[in-house]
Amino acid sequence: MSWNSLWFSLVVLYLSSAVCSAKEEWWQHGVFYQVYPRSFRDVNNDGNGDLAGVIEKLPHFKDAGVDGVWLSPIMKSPQIDAGYDISDYYTIEDMYGSVEDLKELIRKAHEIGIKIILDFVPNHTSNLHKWFQESEDNNEDYKDYYVWADAKGDGSPPNNWISVFRGSAWEWSDKRQQYYLHHFVKEQPDLNYRNPKVREDMKKVLVHYLDLGVDGFRIDAIPYLVEDKELRDEPRSFNPSATPMDNDYLEHIYTNNQPETYDLIYEWRKLVDDYTAQNGGDARILMTEAYADLDHTMPYYGTADGSTKGAHFTFNFFFISNFNKNISTAHDIARIVYTWQNALPSIYTSNWVLGNHDNRRIPTRLGVENIDGFNMLVQLLPGIAVTYNGEEFGQEDGEVTYEQGKDPSARNRSIFESASRDFERTPLQWNDSVNAGFNAGAEPWLPVSEKYKELNLAYQLDENVLSHFQIYRKLTRKRKEDATKSGTTDIWAISDDVIVLKRSYINQHTVLAFKLGWHGNTEEETVYVPSIKAKEATVALTNVGSSYEIGSVINPQSFKLKPHESLVLDIVC
């Protein structure tokens, strides 16, 4: 994963990209905040977060400088995969509240200028959805709603496809005497997008929520929407660490990112654009979830010339996939930034993501002491910044035992530690009262982390004390100040362990200098800001625990950084 450092000591990493123009739409420089509703705030004290809890915390979003809140799924679901298994698209899951609560959330959020984005799960339903039950009964109207196929002569599944959650992607139905496809658990049967009725039904779902006033959708698991018509076997990937049970044992040339899948995203984009054109108001947006290589990721934005548009942005997962403190260096950060920027057609908007409900939290992956440095990086890069709830105050992964775990992708004890997504989903740590202020004492669906007594938002609210949250607030405010300025962005790995990001506007630079402290780098290092003539820089912001004073003046051509130290510098030129 790491690039050859010798090569990089000779070649300076350089990126130059035009940033925002004055005519940006609301989402183009936004901070998007992911709420994981079940773990967010439980007002009715039943152990599960609820919409009333999200409404209660609206002032927190405002204070944090958030522009759009994305809620993980809140539609009716048996919760086998934490709501990503919907049994009725038109009903709000009981434990979260009612459609009236959703309307109240949208109204109150809009009153304070915050947009509400819902998670839309189109690839699969719950096996309890009435469409699936009708389909399994072979009812004429629904028999082609899902991907069904006959067994092979020996009774085995139709082909070798493997589920993302391990094992065959096919499940036998005694009732229908056929196999059905499921890319995730068997309780998540895959919809058949070759059926025009399915396409129409899913569009109706989108319009239903647009009519309720939502500002857009995060679209789940898009690479899997359409599969090869002939159901051909996928070839081996020859990934040395994959067993025949693992999804990456195969090269997904027939199940992922098929041409028809992109067309669906383009259709949905047209739908939301037409809706905005007909109903007025700000753009309703689409953000898509695809873990794919760059070549397969970019077309989710649309065609390179912009003549056909897709998602307003498709998540940039490259700071998540294969990037962590054990294998990566500062060169990888620079490479991720510039390869993404170079691949992204200039008409589209960048975005930067460090966490979500499917991946270990930043402190686990990138180092507890690096939370401020990485928040600085994401907030200062051009385009959209995405925050997973808790990142704004440095929440760490929780402690969950196999017995307490709920994640269906880790039902097997031997893979629990490595595969479970329960650790990043434990309740939010609001304060040091019972259950960290998540609720009034009922047993939460996942345990509250033991760290909450010291690590909680309430301890970080004092504006006069530098804390992870105060740093985050200052960063989001700085973004807003800079949003209408145009300029360029440069990034360098000036050593294996130090990254320097420079935003240049007329007469001014904003610089991040960040020493990762990875791979046993415990020494202080003398660093510099490349391509700078000024001899003075003002320290605008530091990480918690830095030896630099905010407001002090340093020489940007030579200064020292300790491991994990990160500085935001203002330089007048």
Residue 567's Cβ-count burial label (10 Å; 0-12, 13-18, 19+) is buried
Tell me if residue 150 is catalytic: no
Residues 126-155 that bind ligand NOJ (CB under 6 A): none
Active-site residue, from 42, 85, 136, 220: 220
Q: Total number of residues binding ligand NOJ (CB under 6 A)?
A: 9
End-to-end CA distance of the chain: 37
Q: Which is nearer to ligand NOJ, 63 or 246 (CB)?
A: 246
CB 437 within 8 A of CB 431: yes
Q: Which of 84, 145, 318, 340 binds ligand NOJ (CB under 6 A)?
A: 84
Q: Is 358 in the site for ligand NOJ (CB under 6 A)?
A: yes
3-class secondary structure, 236:
strand
Q: Which is nearer to ligand NOJ, 221 or 272 (CB)?
A: 221
Q: Beta-strand (E) ranges in 93-215?
A: 115-120, 148-149, 170-173, 178-181
Q: Is 445 in the site for ligand NOJ (CB under 6 A)?
A: no
Q: How far is the CB of 218 from ligand NOJ (least distance, A)?
A: 9
CB 173 within 8 A of CB 132: no
**Which residue's Cβ lies closest to ligand NOJ?**
84
With b for 16 or more beta-carbon neighbours within 10 A and e for fewer, the 278-299 pattern comes to: eeeeebbbbbbbbbbeeebbbb
Residue 272, H or E segment: helix 259-279
Q: How far is the CB of 122 from ligand NOJ (least distance, A)?
A: 10
CB 226 within 8 A of CB 193: yes
Q: Is 187 in the site for ligand NOJ (CB under 6 A)?
A: no
Q: Draw the binding track, 260-299, toward ligand NOJ (x: CB under 6 A; -: no contact).
A: -----------------------------x----------
Q: How far is the CB of 555 from ligand NOJ (least distance, A)?
A: 46
Q: Which is nearer to ligand NOJ, 50 or 190 (CB)?
A: 190
Q: How far is the CB of 123 from ligand NOJ (least distance, A)?
A: 7
At 123, list the tokens: 């690839």
Q: Is 81 in the site for ligand NOJ (CB under 6 A)?
A: yes
Q: How far is the CB of 459 from ligand NOJ (least distance, A)?
A: 30
Q: How far is the CB of 75 from ligand NOJ (least distance, A)?
A: 12
Residues 214-233 that bind ligand NOJ (CB under 6 A): 220-221
Tell me if residue 88 is catalytic: no
Q: Beta-strand (E) ranges in 195-306?
A: 216-219, 285-288
Active-site residue, from 93, 136, 187, 289: 289
Q: Which is nearer to ligand NOJ, 119 or 497 (CB)?
A: 119
Residue 542, H or E segment: strand 537-542
Q: What is the largest CA-CA distance in the chain?
A: 77
Rounded Cα–Cα distance for residues 119 and 100 (Å): 18
Q: Which of 184, 249, 268, 459 binds ligand NOJ (CB under 6 A)?
A: 184
Q: Which is nearer to ligand NOJ, 288 or 341 (CB)?
A: 288
Written as one letter, the residue type at 367 is: G
Residue 295, H or E segment: helix 294-297
Which residues are known catalytic residues? 220, 289
Q: Which residues bind ligand NOJ (CB under 6 A)?
A: 81, 84, 121, 184, 220-221, 289, 357-358
